[in-house]
């Protein structure tokens, strides 16, 4: 149970507390809120050009000061409020989440949260895998259930070029092995495919992960943030990839396992396991998007492509707002949500706005 602090000072707030609406809100497009992605740091040890290009995120770049970051206690409190609104899945992300000091302590706290039905939440994390080999056991012991690891190539030279900090692929593969051996599965592996950059690695990646129990997912290169020089001609449509892979290893489509799933799932017909395609650009899946994102400094973004967020940190720190107050505000905010950027992206006349950077709100 979350603590509810009844504020004594303001009548308006008393009204909010009395108004403890138990309903799980639907947004303006009738979508529930199920998935909360929490960015625990805006820093990263990689400089993937599609996310944090070196030219922009160089040595002089000002990351958030420590005081601006939500503390673990603040994150856990907010996550508990989100659970009241319907969230059942928490994903830690960043930046690179494994750079956040003492992360297992946060995981322990989050693993203690329960749904109103008394069930543990789905608790997972997305990482570039660089620090996974040494942290996998502690993450598992703290209560993390599984991980998603980003890996854009198996060829060492291509991988070093893409992370742009000369990081060797072997260390990420060691991280994957460590995660698998401590039981942080089923593991998903995310590959962002950019035409002319790493698309020649697609079949090699598929061959490598077939039959391992890990699920490789190909992600279409997206126009997140304002600095990644996104071009539509660098997007390799998933449909093309399904054909390429299916020509080598016949595939059969799988049903979505739950509403709001980002990946289209396929199975190798020969029993080689599952493979997924995330087609945000060519087959938008806004229709059942049930995801919200909490930035490192405590802002709520209701879309990956949003340009402004709702600052929750002040409510956490004002010493007056109870969990019920915050829940009431968030419920109202979610009910107004109309985001569906991916459905609108390629429509004529949609103005290109400055979007929030992905390392700040997480993928």
Q: Which residues bind ligand SAM (CB under 6 A)?
A: 44, 50-51, 93-94, 96, 126-128, 150, 190, 192, 219, 221-222, 224, 228, 358-359, 362-363
Nearer Cβ to ligand SAM (135/228)? 228
User: Minimal distance in Å, beta carbon 186 to ligand SAM?
Assistant: 16
In the region spanning residues 295 to 334, those forming contacts with ligand SF4, defined by CB under 6 A, are: 303-305
CA distances from 170 to 151, 156, 163, 174 (A): 11, 8, 13, 6
Paired tokens of 357: 């950077």
Total residues in contact with ligand SF4, by rule CB under 6 A? 23
Given candidates 100, 217, 331, 359, which one binds ligand SF4 under the rule CB under 6 A?
359
Angle between the N-to-C axes of helices 132-142 and 169-182, in degrees from 0 to 180, rounded to the nearest 10? 20
Site map 174..213 versus ligand SF4, x via CB under 6 A: ----------------------------------------
Instruction: Report the Cα 127 to chain-centroid distance in Å.
Output: 10
In sequence order, what E strands does 81-165 have? 89-93, 122-127, 146-150
User: Minimal distance in Å, beta carbon 291 to ligand SF4?
Assistant: 6
Q: Which does 33 bind (CB under 5 to 8 A by kind): ligand SAM, ligand SF4, none?
A: none
Residue 141 sits at φ, ψ, to 5 deg, of -65, -30
Given candidates 32, 80, 94, 298, which one binds ligand SF4 under the rule CB under 6 A?
94
For the sheet with 188-193, list strands across it.
251-253, 264-268, 274-278, 215-220, 188-193, 146-150, 122-127, 89-93, 35-39, 291-294, 299-301, 310-311
Per CB under 6 A, residues contacting ligand SF4 are 44, 46-48, 51-52, 94-96, 128, 150, 285-286, 289, 291, 303-305, 339-342, 359
């Amino acid at each position: 149970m979350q603590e509810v602090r009844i504020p004594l000072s303001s009548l308006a707030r008393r009204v909010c507390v009395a108004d403890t609406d138990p309903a799980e809100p639907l947004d303006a497009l009738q979508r529930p809120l199920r998935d909360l992605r929490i960015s625990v740091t805006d820093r990263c040890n990689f400089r993937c050009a599609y996310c944090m290009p070196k030219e922009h995120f160089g040595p002089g770049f000002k990351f958030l000061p420590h005081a601006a970051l939500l503390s673990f206690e603040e994150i856990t409190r907010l996550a508990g409020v989100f659970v009241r609104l319907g969230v059942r899945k928490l994903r830690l992300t960043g930046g690179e989440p494994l750079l956040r000091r003492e992360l297992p302590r946060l995981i322990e706290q989050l693993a203690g949260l329960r749904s109103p039905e008394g069930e543990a939440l789905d608790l997972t994390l997305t990482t570039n895998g660089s620090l996974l080999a040494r942290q996998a056991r502690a993450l598992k012991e703290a209560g993390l259930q599984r991980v998603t690891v980003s890996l854009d190539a198996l060829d060492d030279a291509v991988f070093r070029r893409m992370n742009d900090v000369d990081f060797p692929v072997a260390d990420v593969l060691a991280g994957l092995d460590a995660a698998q051996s401590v039981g942080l599965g089923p593991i998903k592996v995310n590959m962002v495919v950019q035409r002319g950059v790493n698309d020649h690695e697609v079949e090699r990646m598929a061959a490598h992960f077939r039959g391992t129990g890990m699920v490789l997912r190909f992600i279409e290169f997206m126009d997140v943030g304002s600095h990644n020089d996104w071009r539509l001609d660098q997007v390799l449509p998933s449909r093309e990839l399904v054909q390429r892979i299916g020509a080598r290893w016949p595939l059969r489509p799988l049903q979505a396992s739950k509403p709001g799933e980002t990946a289209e799932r396929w199975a190798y017909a020969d029993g080689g396991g599952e493979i997924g395609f995330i087609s945000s650009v060519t087959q938008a899946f806004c229709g059942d998007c049930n995801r919200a994102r909490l930035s490192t400094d405590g802002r709520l973004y209701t879309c990956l492509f949003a340009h402004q967020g709702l600052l929750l940190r002040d409510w956490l720190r004002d010493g007056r707002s109870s969990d019920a107050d915050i829940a009431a505000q968030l419920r109202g905010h979610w009910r107004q949500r109309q985001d569906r950027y991916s459905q609108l992206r390629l429509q004529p006349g949609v103005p290109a706005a400055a979007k929030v950077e992905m390392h700040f709100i997480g993928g």
